[in-house]
């Protein structure tokens, strides 16, 4: 059945687990997440970016989620708008059956320019009021995601925001977080602490200097009942880099967020963990392997099924690692 983010994360907080939020764009990705959830009895957060909605079409996405809920009746599913940039994006998502939206006011509506605190608070409070009227949940974001190594702040599409940002802009300020939650009444709060979107997060295995887990711990101390969200939480596993590169890919060596750091976050109030890149890499590695090993193959099912299975395996691992398993 479809449930809201608030319902799901309240349960996660009560029982001390985290929930991976997997981005989906098509049927294979939706099936991968639900098959994995079914195997380990985990509740699910599916999320669609603005790009996903354009790619798949809102009606196609809405019917797909309805179908997944009908096939897997015993799995609670939250359908979430990832990185909504304005009121229209968030409200049309709800209109298409999403039970939760992210109003990302950390950037201006162009999704490129870091926004002022006042802009962020005002637009997030407006969206939260409207979403709550109709029973949908809201995630806000405070602080601009980006690299503490380079000071490169990040736009929603993974392209760089203008200029070099200070650590103050790249790390969520705990005092501001308290004021923001009070003023906006968001159900969940995404915070910035050194992660960024995509595969190229860190040039070495991250330590405290470039992944500021202490920021999460401080915010959790100040806001013990608020559900925290970690964006840019792909781990970019070495094995997935290796499969892609073994079968003709060209991905330079890179590091993501270690799973043990995410588990540490879950102990400090992180309840929603956003993962897209790892799923993309799992699927792409599997597809490369089939096509390179079997150049005569041209039936899409012959590579889409292995792609779906590789993503299912990744999703299952995260459900088990984050304690989501057994909580459906």
Distance CA 108, CA 155 (A): 10
Residue ranges in 161-180 that form contacts with ligand 13P under rule CB under 6 A:
none
> Beta strand pairing status for 137-142 and 100-103?
parallel
Minimal distance in Å, beta carbon 294 to ligand 13P? 29
Could you tell me which residues come within 8 angstroms of residue 122 by beta carbon, excluding any fewer than 6 positions away?
105
**Piece of the chain touching ligand G3H by CB under 6 A; list 10-18, 46-54, 68-76, 85-93:** 46-54
- H/E segment holding residue 152: strand 152-154
> For the chain, how big is the Rg over CA atoms in Å?
19
Please say if 309 is a catalytic residue.
no
235 is in an annotated binding site: no
Minimal distance in Å, beta carbon 290 to Na ion? 31
**Piece of the chain touching ligand G3H by CB under 6 A; list 47-55, 108-116, 216-224, 251-259:** 47-55
**Piece of the chain touching ligand G3H by CB under 6 A; list 48-56, 165-173, 250-258, 316-324:** 48-56
Interface characters, 90-109, with Na ion (x: CB under 5 A): ------------x-------
Minimal distance in Å, beta carbon 279 to ligand 13P? 7
For the stretch 226-263, what's the b/e string if a residue is b when 16 or more beta carbons lie within 10 angstroms of its beta carbon?
Answer: bbbbbbbbbbbbeebbebbeebeeebeebbbbbbebbe
Q: Which of 10, 58, 82, 168 is flagged as catalytic?
A: 82
Could you tell me which residues come within 8 angstroms of residue 116 by beta carbon, excluding any fewer than 6 positions away?
none
Minimal distance in Å, beta carbon 228 to ligand G3H? 17
Residue whose structure tokens are 């190229």: 200
52 forms part of the interface with ligand G3H (CB under 6 A): yes
317 forms part of the interface with Na ion (CB under 5 A): no
Could you tell me which residues come within 8 angstroms of residue 133 by beta carbon, excluding any fewer than 6 positions away?
none
Residue ranges in 64-83 that form contacts with ligand G3H under rule CB under 6 A:
82-83
Q: Which of 220, 231, 280, 318 binds Zn ion (CB under 5 A)?
A: 231
């Amino acid at each position: 059945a479809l449930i809201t983010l608030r319902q799901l994360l309240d349960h996660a907080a009560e029982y001390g687990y985290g929930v991976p939020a997997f981005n989906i764009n098509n049927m294979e990705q939706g099936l991968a997440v639900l098959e994995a959830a079914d195997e380990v009895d985990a509740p699910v957060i599916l999320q669609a970016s603005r790009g996903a909605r354009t790619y798949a079409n809102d009606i196609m996405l809405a019917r797909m989620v309805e179908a997944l809920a009908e096939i897997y009746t015993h799995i609670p599913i939250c359908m979430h708008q990832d990185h909504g940039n304005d009121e229209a994006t968030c409200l049309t998502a709800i209109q298409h059956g999403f039970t939760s939206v992210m109003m990302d006011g950390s950037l201006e509506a162009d999704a490129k320019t870091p926004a002022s605190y006042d802009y962020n608070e005002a637009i997030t409070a407006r969206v939260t009021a409207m979403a709550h009227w109709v029973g949908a949940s809201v995630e806000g974001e405070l602080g601009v995601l980006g690299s503490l190594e380079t000071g490169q702040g990040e736009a929603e599409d993974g392209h760089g925001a203008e200029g070099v940002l200070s650590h103050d802009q790249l790390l969520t300020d705990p005092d501001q977080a308290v004021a923001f939650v009070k003023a906006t009444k968001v159900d969940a709060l995404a915070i910035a602490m050194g992660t960024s979107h995509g595969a190229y997060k860190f040039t070495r295995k991250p330590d405290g200097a470039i992944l500021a887990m202490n920021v999460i711990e401080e915010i959790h101390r100040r806001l013990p009942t608020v559900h925290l969200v970690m964006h840019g939480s792909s781990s970019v596993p070495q094995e997935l880099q290796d499969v892609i590169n073994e079968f003709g890919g060209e991905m330079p060596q890179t590091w993501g967020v270690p799973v043990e750091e995410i588990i540490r976050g879950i102990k400090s109030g992180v309840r929603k963990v956003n993962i897209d890149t790892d799923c993309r890499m799992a699927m792409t590695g599997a597809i490369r392997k089939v096509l390179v090993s079997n150049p005569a193959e041209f039936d899409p099912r012959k590579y889409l099924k292995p792609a779906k299975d590789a993503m299912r395996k990744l999703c299952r691992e995260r459900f088990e690692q984050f304690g989501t398993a057994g909580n459906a």
